[in-house]
Amino acid sequence: MKNYITMMRPAHWSKNVFVFAALIFGQKLIGPREEVITAVLSAFGAFLCFCLAASSMYILNDVIDRKSDLLHPEKRKRPIASGKVAVANALVFAGVCAAAALAGSYILVKELAVIIFIYLAMSVLYSISFKHMMIIDVIIIAIGFVLRAVAGAIAVGVFISPWLIICTFALCLFLGFSKRYAEISLLAENGKEFRRTLGGYTQDLLSHMVNVSSGLAIICFLLYSMDERTVHFFGTNSLFVTVPFVLYCVFRFSALIQKGTYTGPVQIVIKDRPFQIGFALWVLVCFVIVHANRLGLRLSDLVAY
């Protein structure tokens, strides 16, 4: 059973926290208790559905990559690559996870099932074809994260700003290119054999892509925070004061990846304490600003329109 849990990569479920963004930016955490409980449970349900859907695709990808994973110092230990779980059993288990994700999302919100289905279909195409296409591989991964954010908005029934969608997309491009940078640094000359697209990337090129995508994400967040609809919805234009936290997290993340301190984004998220503190402070300040009126706080706008 331990091998099957390992195949699901529970550590990677941290990627699905994008689902919970709608709770904060949709102002669903303060209000009548019944409404708050319903929103939280709906978001958590969407989170679980995406965990199952993502795990099914991790397993499928591991089946397809089981030979190339043997070239990776860490991935060679995975249950399928190491032979601890048979390919047929892995595929059946992946199918069960995908079916559970679709069934659960349909019961929760029918539209959520559509998002899960699109994610699964796109992930299958990624595993079979798109992951071998330079740049497109990272774009597809980023779209997957955008679907997570949209899924959260659908689950709790709130509008999601186009600026926030673009910001999420750019941020996930940053994460994706950072992962490719880490892979090239770790694998060196074996990179192309492990992942075909790594042969088209260079560290200089990826460093440039990381810088561009991170800058785009920060700019889009600023535009979102000062957008007329955002200011009207939250009753303040003060959301931009959280940008220092965003800058710190992005810059620390980039520094750790390029220094080779960690081998991938997930390790930074679950292991690096300064990054975790910076992210937690950003969430806390966003929560206070977004829910200021409902908390009875009167925050004056820092910039007058």
CA gap 19, 153 in Å, rounded: 7
Backbone dihedral angles phi then psi of residue 240, each to the nearest 5 degrees: -65, -15
CA torsion, ordered 207, 209, 215, 221, to nearest 10 deg: -130
CB contact at 8 A, 171 and 217: yes
Token couple for 159? 């509008």
CB contact at 8 A, 168 and 149: yes
CA gap 187, 4 in Å, rounded: 27
Given phi > 0 = left and psi -120 to 50 = alpha, else beta, which region is 23? alpha
CB contact at 8 A, 162 and 128: no
The list of the chain residues with pLDDT below 70 reads: 72-73, 187-199, 293-305
CB contact at 8 A, 187 and 199: no
Q: Which amino acid is at 278?
A: G
> In this predicted structure, what is the pLDDT of residue 266?
78
> In this predicted structure, what is the pLDDT of residue 261?
72
DSSP code, position 227: -
Contacts of 267 (CB under 8 A, 6+ apart): none
Q: What is the chain's alpha carbon radius of gyration, rounded to the nearest angstrom?
A: 20
CA gap 95, 53 in Å, rounded: 9
CA gap 241, 285 in Å, rounded: 9
> In this predicted structure, what is the pLDDT of residue 113?
95
CB contact at 8 A, 268 and 275: yes
CB contact at 8 A, 52 and 96: no
CB contact at 8 A, 242 and 289: yes
CB contact at 8 A, 43 and 22: yes
CB contact at 8 A, 168 and 187: no
Task: State the architecture of 1-160 in CATH terms.
Answer: Orthogonal Bundle (1.10)
Task: Please count the other Cβ atoms lying within 10 Å of the Cβ belonging to residue 37.
Answer: 10
> In this predicted structure, what is the pLDDT of residue 146?
93
In order of 141, 208, 212, the CA distances from 217 in angstroms are 16, 14, 9
> In this predicted structure, what is the pLDDT of residue 305?
46
